[in-house]
Amino acid sequence: MRRLVGLVMALPVLLPEQASAHPAFAGATGFYGGLLHPLFVPTHAIAILSLGLLIGQQMPHWRWPIALAYAAGLGTGFAAMICAFPPRFSAEALLAATAVVAALVALARGLPWPTACVLALAVGTALALDSSPGGISVREANVIIVGTFCGAVILLWVTLEVATVFRREWQKLGVRILGSWMAASAVLVLTWQLAR
Amino acid sequence: MRMARTSLRAAVLLLLGAMPAAAHTGNLSGGFLGGFAHPLFGPDHVVAMVAVGLWGAFLGPPPMFILPIVFPLVMAIGGVLGILAVPLPAAELAIAASAIVLGLMVASAARPPLWVAATIVAAFAIFHGYAHGAELPAGTDAAAYSIGFVTATGLLHLAGIALGLTVRWPVGRIGVRGTGAAIAGAGVVFLWRLA
């Protein structure tokens, strides 16, 4: 009897689950895990939302080049990760870029579109470098990366399209209020990360 | 013997219910809810935040919405000071004073220029942010916690604005100004308790 109990107690120890950096949520793995990753990691979500709001608020006519710059940033970051580039301070860089972008949303001052492209490139690169996949095999990690890329691009596009239709005065003010919330959150988390 | 068997069964059950450990959980429930609840369970924060929204109602749109934009941006500066443990003298006194000043502004239906209102709100925002930053509990998910308390703060402003929209009716105007007087009174109580 005791031997049986001992065996049963040993079973869970023999079936460990993989530890991952920040999973979207329990059970989300592979492509779908990557797809949902930007949505369920708070700092990533506010980075993408603030960039989407900025584009939709200030330069909807330039959304294609800015979104391409963002996608290029994501691609660069993921390529660097695949080439085993060790990401350092990527979380801090992402938070700093988010704070700037979200503060620009809150201030609602006109921004030249090339500057927005540079910011989008920075957000995309930092986001990718901060999204190291928790997969065990190279193939699994690559599938997660593809999922994360798709999720990050889709979330940005949805946000900027939604922000583009906000043309009434109260809607524009609502976007600015959201920007101020995200800027404040980014600044606080960045400080906490640096002070840790 | 029966006791030992029961204990073994309990131990087996507990082991079978084990959950995996993760480095950064991105835990939206614990961290977010903890941060969200933080301003809501501090009466001094609640009344001051609602007063910001109520005061905005007397300023009218669009300045009404400028104060809730200014407050979180400046509050973050105070939060930075709090997280870095930079000494800020009389922070609790200033928070209590914020309820008095903002309450009196609402009670008197003051309509100063926007920059004056924004400066007053910004000055108090530093102290409120400082308190939140200094009280950031160790071991929580800082991102979710910060997003939670910033969201709760913003929603309290919006609740104040929503209440303040009743100033278009005479009864509502009296009610809002009375609420302002009550907030100022609450501020006096907070100050008295600190003394």
Residues A99-114 have pLDDT tens digits of 999 999 999 988 898 9
Tokens 């239906």 belong to B109
More confident residue, B6 or A133: A133
Q: Taking CB atoms and an 8 Å limit, are B150 and A5 in contact across chains? A: no
Nearest Cα neighbor of A67 from A133, A165, A164 is A164
pLDDT at A15: 41
Query: Mind listing the pLDDT tens digit for each residue in A59-107?
Result: 888 888 999 999 999 999 999 888 877 778 889 999 999 999 999 999 9
Nearest Cα neighbor of B120 from B104, B102, B147 is B102
Rounded distance, CA A164 to CA A157, Å? 10
More confident residue, B186 or A2: B186
Residue A169, chain B, CB below 8 Å: the answer is yes
- What's the mean pLDDT when you consider all of chain A? 84
Q: Compute the radius of gyration of chain B from its Cα atoms.
A: 22
Q: Which of residues 101-160 of B touch A (CB under 8 A)?
A: 129, 133, 136, 141-144, 146-147, 150-151, 154, 158
Residue A127, chain B, CB below 8 Å: the answer is no
**DSSP 3-state of B119:** helix
Average pLDDT on A121-133 reads: 91
DSSP, res B109: T
Provide the token pair at B80.
């930075």
Nearest Cα neighbor of B129 from B14, B48, B60, B24 is B48
In angstroms, what CA-CA distances link A39 with A48, A96, A102, A130, B119?
A: 9, 19, 17, 14, 36
pLDDT at A31: 86
In angstroms, what CA-CA distances link A189 with A40, B53, B141, B143, B153?
A: 16, 26, 9, 5, 16
Rounded distance, CA A177 to CA A166, Å? 13
Query: Mind listing the pLDDT tens digit for each residue in A15-44?
Result: 444 444 455 555 567 888 888 988 889 899
Q: How far is CA A26 from the centre of its chain?
A: 18
Q: B138: nearest CA in chain A?
A: A196
Q: Taking CB atoms and an 8 Å limit, are A21 and B151 in contact across chains? A: no
Q: Taking CB atoms and an 8 Å limit, are A20 and B22 in contact across chains? A: yes
